[in-house]
Amino acid sequence: MASRMAAAADTEVQIITGNQAMALAAKRCRVQVVAAYPITPQSQVTETLSEYVAAGELDAEYVNVESEHSALSVCIGASSVGARAFTATSANGLAYMCEPLHWAAGARLPIVLGCVNRAMAAPWSVLNDQQDSMSQRDAGWIQIFARNNQEIFDTAVQAFKIAQTVSVPVMVCYDGYLLSHTVMPVDVPSQEAVDTFLPPYTPHTILDPADPRNLNQVTLADPRENEKGVLCHGYMELRYLLEEALEQARDTIIAVDEEYAAAFGRSCGGMLWTYRSEDAEVLLVAAGSLASEASVAVDALRADGCKAGVIGVRAYRPFPKQELIEATAPAARVLVFDKSLSYGNEGPICGDVKAALYGSGSHPAVHGYIAGLGGRDVRAAELAEAVRRDAAKGAVAPTEWINCRI
C-alpha cells in the first residue's frame, strides 16, 4: 500500500484527449525518432509530438515524410540502428503501411505504432470502426486495444517495454473520435517514474563498421551455411521464431501489466479484462470503447434480473485463448460484438472466440453481431436489447447486424 501511495504522489492528473495521451506517453518514453504523415483522426498525435520537439521538451528527430509507407520505413531504419521509434496512423494510412508492417515484424523491430481506428474506404468515411487494424491482424504485430484515454497512455508506455522485451512491434489501437478527440482525466506519471519503469532500448541488431553485417537479405527456402560454415535459418525457421515470440508475448504482456500496476497502481487487465462476469450466464465480448459501452448495458440487464457480464478483449494478437476459455466456462451464452467484418465469414473477434473455445471444454453458444461500422452509433440500450433477443435463439444463429437499416 505504501508503494502505491508513493507512486500516486508522483503523478499529475491532466484533462486531455486520447490523441494527446498517446503523444504524451511517447514523450515520457523518450522516443528518439518520430516519423509523421497526417491522416484524420490521427493527426493530433504527431502534431503534439512536433510541438514537444520544437519546444525542446523532447530530444528526438521529427521526420516529415510524403506518405505513411515512408513513415513506417523511417521507423524501420531508425529502429535497425538502435533508436526508439514511433509513428501513428489510421485507416487507409495503415493500409498504405501494409508492406513495411510485414517488414518491421519480420525484422523483429520493437517499433510502437498508435492506430487510431477509423473506417476503411471506399466509400470515404473519417469515422470510427475497427476494420483498419483488424485487416492487418496477420502482419506479425502485437495488437492491444485501449478502452479509454487512461488506458491509451498506460498501454503505450507498456507497449515500448513489451516490444523491446520480445523484439516484436506493437500496435496500440483505440477508437477514433470516441477516444481520440474526447477529453478525459488521465493520471500521468512523472518522467522519472517512467524512466525507472522503462529501461533504455538495447538493440539486437548490430551496426558496426568494424563488424559489417547484412540485414534482412534474401533468404532461401532451406537453411544453409554462411561464409563461416554456420548453418543459418531459412525463411520457414524465421517465421516459426516470430510465431513463437508472439505466443510467448502473452506472458510478457501479463508480466509488464503487473509491473505497471505495482509501479503506478493501475492494471489494464493483461490479456483481457472482465466486468461482473463471475456468475454471468451471458457474456458480452468486445474490444475498445465498445466493451466499455457493453458494461453500461450489463448494468441495465442486471437491474432487470439478467445475469450478464463483459469480457473486454485487450490483447487481440496474440489472442487470449486460455483466458477466454476460463472466463466463458460458467456461461451459457457468449455474444460477440465486432466493429469490423471478415468479409464472407463473420466478425473477426467472433470467429477467433469460436476457434479458441472449440474442443476446450467450454461450451457456451456463441453468437456474433456486427455493430458500429463507419461510425454508426452503438448505444448500451441496443446492446442490451440484442441480449434479450438472443435469449430466444437456438444454439446456432447467423451473424446479426445491429442498427443496420436494410
Grid-cell match 505466443, residue found = 247
All cell numbers assigned to 217: 537479405
* 149 Cβ neighbours under 8 A, 6+ residues apart: 16, 17, 18, 21, 179, 182, 183, 184, 186
Please, which pLDDT band fits residue 103 given cuts at 50, 70 and 90?
very high
- From the list 284, 399, 298, 393, the residue with the least C-alpha distance to 340 is 399
Please state the rounded mean pLDDT for residues 226-239: 91
Biggest alpha carbon distance in the chain? 72
Q: What is d(CA 42, CA 54) in angstroms, rounded to the nearest whole number?
A: 19
Is residue 16 predicted with pLDDT exceeding 60? yes
Q: Is 153 helix (H, G, I), strand (E, B) or coil?
A: helix
Q: List pLDDT tens digits, range 194-216.
A: 999 999 999 988 788 888 877 88
Q: Which of 251, 146, 193 is nearest to 4 (CA)?
A: 193
**CA–CA separation, 163 vs 96, rounded Å?**
22
Evaluated on CA atoms 132, 138, 140, 146, the torsion sign reads positive
- Report d(CA 217, CA 214) in Å as an integer: 6
Tell whether omega for the bond before 203 is within 30 degrees of 0, i.e. cis: no
> pLDDT at residue 314 above 90?
yes
In this model, does residue 316 exceed pLDDT 50?
A: yes
Question: According to CATH, where is 3.40.50.920 located in the chain?
Answer: 272-401
User: Mean per-residue pLDDT for 240-265?
Assistant: 98
347 with 340: CB under 8 angstroms?
yes
Above pLDDT 90, what percent of the chain?
88
Looking at residue 357, its pLDDT comes to 97
The CATH classification of domain 2-202+251-264, taken from the options 3.40.50.970, 1.20.1440.120, 3.20.20.100, 3.30.70.2660:
3.40.50.970
DSSP 44: H
Domain 272-401 falls in which CATH fold?
Rossmann fold (3.40.50)
Q: Is the pLDDT of residue 27 over 50?
A: yes
* Signed CA dihedral, 21, 26, 30, 33: sign only: negative
Q: Residue 272: beta bridge partners?
A: 313
